[in-house]
Structure formats: structure tokens, C-alpha cells
């Protein structure tokens, strides 16, 4: 986990609140307390007999160590996984294909969008890309630059952006900080947002997140992936 000094946190907070946004709305998602990212991943692995798993951003292997699969690759420049690299370095050299990719590295819009596009390039035909941290509940948890420990970043903007594509079908499952689910194929609900994605604010998200992310619950997810 990236270390931020107290002074950088304070400066980032002041900068964000003065120059970017100052909005106090808070969302209550009531994420289930008995279904987490590893449960969803295990469900997909068992359902489709997946054998090749890639995780971008592994930290202390809280998730990576729980994944029981034939081949797993975990990429992190700092800790965990089994490859000490950034995702960009990894994708530049990689020629393997994966059934399932879990993206949980640097939580900024631009980096996550790049990680998703690179993941889709090495995804097998019926594979799935999952993206962690899509549903921040307040402005400070999604602020970039980061100024607090618990941080989802503006990952949600990558989902909003890619939901404009007609050849990607995307949902967000309301569990464990919000998990984006991306499959190649016809987009059955193309999103149109008039503002520049980079300029969207948390207030926009707060007012529109169901539409922006195409939020589904775990039962709806299981019906779609049955
Ligand atoms: C939130 S943690 C990952 C948690 C883990 N996936 C889990 O489910 O518990 C984010 C990790 O991303 C790593 N990271 C940061 N920048 C990265 C990058 N450019 N490429 C890959 N990993 C990165 C950090 O070192 C950190 O360990």
C-alpha cells in the first residue's frame, strides 16, 4: 500500500476541497456482509472451469492467496502476487491469455482504463474482467490526488467511460466496494453522458450512480452468469 506522509495528505485535501469539489453527500450501499470479491471470483471459476487468473495489485495477498486455480499471476510493484512489476510493465511483455482478470492496482481513472483495455487484449474468448472499488460512498474516498487511507479512487469514471462502447457489456455488482464486470460483446445498454468524463464530480456520481454503473445485486449477477 502506497505510503502518504501526513503533510501530503493535508495538502492534497486542501487542494481537492478548494479547487476540485466540496460536497458532503454520503451514500449508504449496505453491501452484503456474507459475500465478498473472493466469493464472486470462486463462483465464476467453478461455473466456467476457468484455469488462468490474473490479478493486478495484490498488496498482502488478501485475495490472491484465496484463489484456488490451475494458473495464477499476481502483479504488484510493491508486495504480494508473484511478479514484482507495474501493470504497464507487465502488459508490455505479456503474451499469456487469461480467463479472469481482477483489476485492483492504482485506483485512478486513467490507469484503470488502461488496465481494462490491456486486460481485454489478453482475455480469452469467454473471459471476464472484474474491477474492484467502483462504488465510493463519499467524495473523500474517491478524491484524486488521494488524501485518506481508505481509498477507492475515481475507478468509477473508467466504468462510466467504457460503458459508452458498443462492444463491451458492463455491469457493476453491489458487493465489496463495488465490482465492475466487463465482458466482450454487444453493449445492451449504451450510456450517454454529455460532460467530459474527467470533469465529472462526485456529486454527479452521487445523483446518477445506478445509471452510470448499471448496478446489479448478487442475485441478478448469478442469474446472468448461470
Ligand atoms: C488495494 S491494494 C490490492 C488489494 C488486493 N487486490 C485485495 O483484493 O485485497 C492495491 C495494490 O496495487 C498496487 N499498485 C499500485 N500501483 C500499481 C500499478 N501501477 N500496477 C500494479 N499494481 C499497483 C499497490 O502496490 C497495492 O499493493
| Residue pLDDT, tens place only, 145-162 | 999 999 999 999 999 999
Percent of the chain with pLDDT over 90: 97
Mutate to test the pocket of ligand 1, among 4, 58, 114 (most ligand atoms within 8 A of CB): 58
Determine how many CB atoms are found less than 10 A away from the CB of residue 89: 13
H or E, element range at 219 = helix 218-224
Q: How do the domains of the chain map onto residue ranges?
A: 6-224
Query: Does residue 2 carry a pLDDT above 80?
Result: no
Q: Which CATH architecture has domain 6-224?
A: 3-Layer(aba) Sandwich (3.40)
Say if residue 121 is exposed, middle or buried (CB neighbours under 10 Å; 0-12, 13-18, 19+): exposed
Contact 145, 107 (CB under 8 A): no
Provide CB contacts within 8 A for 26, sequence distance 6+. 137, 138
The pLDDT score that the predictor gives to residue 166 is 98
Query: How many angstroms does the Cα of residue 119 sit away from the middle of ligand 1?
Result: 15
Peptide bond just before 106 cis, omega within 30 deg: no
The pLDDT score that the predictor gives to residue 147 is 95
87-125 residue pLDDT tens: 999 999 999 999 999 999 999 999 999 999 999 999 999
Amino acid at each position: 500500500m502506497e505510503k502518504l506522509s501526513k503533510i501530503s495528505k493535508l495538502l492534497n485535501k486542501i487542494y481537492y476541497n478548494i479547487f476540485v469539489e466540496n460536497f458532503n453527500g454520503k451514500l449508504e450501499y449496505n453491501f452484503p456482509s456474507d459475500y465478498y470479491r473472493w466469493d464472486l471470483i470462486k463462483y465464476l471459476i467453478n461455473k466456467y472451469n476457468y484455469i488462468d487468473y490474473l490479478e493486478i495489485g495484490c498488496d498482502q495477498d488478501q485475495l490472491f492467496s484465496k484463489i484456488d486455480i490451475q494458473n495464477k499471476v499476481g502483479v504488484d510493484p510493491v508486495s504480494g502476487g508473484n511478479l514484482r512489476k507495474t501493470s504497464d510493465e507487465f502488459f508490455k511483455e505479456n503474451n499469456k491469455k487469461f480467463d479472469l482478470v481482477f483489476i485492483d492496482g492504482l485506483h485512478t481513472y486513467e490507469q484503470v482504463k488502461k488496465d481494462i483495455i490491456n486486460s481485454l487484449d489478453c482475455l480469452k474468448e469467454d473471459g471476464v474482467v472484474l474491477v474492484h472499488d467502483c462504488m465510493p460512498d463519499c467524495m473523500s474516498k474517491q478524491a484524486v490526488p488521494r488524501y485518506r487511507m481508505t481509498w477507492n479512487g475515481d475507478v468509477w469514471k473508467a466504468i462510466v467511460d467504457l460503458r459508452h462502447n458498443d462492444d463491451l457489456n458492463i455491469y457493476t455488482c453491489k458487493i465489496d466496494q463495488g465490482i465492475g464486470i466487463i465482458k466482450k460483446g454487444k453493449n445492451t445498454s449504451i450510456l450517454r453522458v454529455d460532460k467530459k468524463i474527467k470533469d465529472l464530480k462526485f456529486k454527479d456520481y452521487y445523483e446518477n450512480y445506478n445509471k452510470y454503473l448499471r448496478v446489479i445485486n448478487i442475485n441478478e449477477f448469478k442469474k446472468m452468469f448461470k
